């Protein structure tokens, strides 16, 4: 049985990954693969409970990082690894890069801790491709305000926070250009989707 491929979608809040998530999964399905769509924080019953805490309960940044990774460990062990093992492709709305961007870049959690947690929690399960939806924080914030009547703890953050999150994402993309596909979210959705498809084609090569 060939192992499935693992695709993650990343970007600051409002950058548009949710717009494309299901269409991307559907497009992969049309190409003959079984696809599981999931998300972080979440993806398991425990992970969804932890998501509620993470999005609505204030806490120390280190605690936030630890809970993100606890939810991720459950997700990897219960959902992602078994699916990939069975040959199912996994499309996840966020994965470890989000912790480096939000907890590391945004909140200033020491990257030494994040590297340690990532190595432990991932246990070798890493995305084959990461689509990074990139958008200028002011525009992303306008889009969040338009689309979200009740913003969560992260969505309520100011542009300075999202500038740091975005910079951390872009640093990670620069460090691993083979894994990342950078998508300019200021373009029309059709153009972005086409660019994503072209990048994903490489997974069959
Ligand atoms: P998000 O994908 O934005 O959910 P929705 O589109 O439903 O609002 O994810 C929720 C938030 O969690 C988002 O603001 C980013 C944050 N987050 C982290 O801070 N660290 C992480 O490791 C992950 C996975 C998410």
pLDDT in tens, 34-91: 999 999 999 999 999 999 999 999 999 999 999 999 999 999 999 999 999 999 999 9
Tokens representing residue 84 in the block: 């990939």
Architecture (CATH level 2) of domain 6-204: 3-Layer(aba) Sandwich (3.40)
In the chain, what is the straight-line distance between the N-terminal and C-terminal CA atoms, in Å? 17
The rounded radius of gyration (Å) of the Cα atoms in the chain is 16
Q: Which residue do the tokens 């425990």 mark?
A: 46
Separation of alpha carbons 97 and 94, rounded Å: 7
For residue 103, how far is its CA from the centre of ligand 1 (angstroms)?
11
Ligand 1 atom showing the smallest separation from residue 95 Cα: 24
For residue 186, give the nearest of 136, 141, 144 by alpha carbon: 136
| CB-CB neighbours of 143 under 10 Å | 16
The closest residue, in CA terms, to atom 8 on ligand 1 is 13
User: pLDDT digit string (tens) for 155-175?
Assistant: 999 999 999 999 999 999 999
CA of 51 to the centre of ligand 1 (A): 9
Q: Which two tokens stand for residue 139?
A: 């525009």
Q: Which residues contact 156 (CB under 8 A, 6 or more apart)?
A: none
The alpha carbon of 81 is separated from its chain's Cα centroid by a whole number of angstroms, namely 17
Q: How far is CA 169 from CA 19, 56, 99, 139, 178, in A?
A: 19, 23, 10, 17, 15
Residues touching ligand 1 (Cβ under 6 Å) are 13, 18, 40-41, 68, 93-94, 98-99, 102-103, 154
pLDDT tens digit sequence for 124-142: 999 999 999 999 999 999 9
Q: Check residue 97 and give its pLDDT.
A: 98
**C-alpha 117: how far from its chain's center?**
17
What local confidence, expressed as pLDDT, does residue 205 receive?
85
Residues in the chain, overall count: 205
């Amino acid at each position: 049985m060939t192992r499935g491929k693992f695709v993650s979608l990343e970007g600051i809040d409002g950058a548009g990954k949710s717009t494309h998530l299901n269409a991307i999964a559907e497009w992969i399905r049309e190409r003959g693969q079984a696809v599981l769509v999931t998300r972080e924080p979440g993806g398991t019953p425990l992970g969804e409970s932890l998501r509620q805490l993470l999005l609505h309960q204030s806490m120390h940044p280190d605690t936030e990082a630890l809970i993100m990774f606890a939810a991720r460990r459950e997700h990897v062990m219960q959902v992602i690894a078994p699916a990939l093992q069975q040959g199912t492709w996994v499309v996840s709305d966020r994965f470890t890069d989000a912790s480096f961007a939000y907890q590391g870049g945004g909140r200033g959690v020491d990257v030494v801790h994040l590297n340690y947690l990532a190595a432990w929690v991932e246990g070798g399960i890493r995305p084959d491709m990461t689509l990074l939806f990139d958008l200028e924080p002011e525009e992303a914030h306008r889009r969040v305000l338009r689309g979200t009547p009740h913003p969560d703890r992260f969505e309520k953050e100011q542009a300075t926070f999202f500038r740091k999150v975005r910079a951390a994402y872009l640093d990670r993309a620069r460090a691993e250009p083979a894994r990342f596909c950078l998508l300019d979210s200021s373009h029309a959705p059709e153009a972005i989707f086409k660019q994503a498809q072209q990048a994903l084609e490489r997974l069959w090569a």
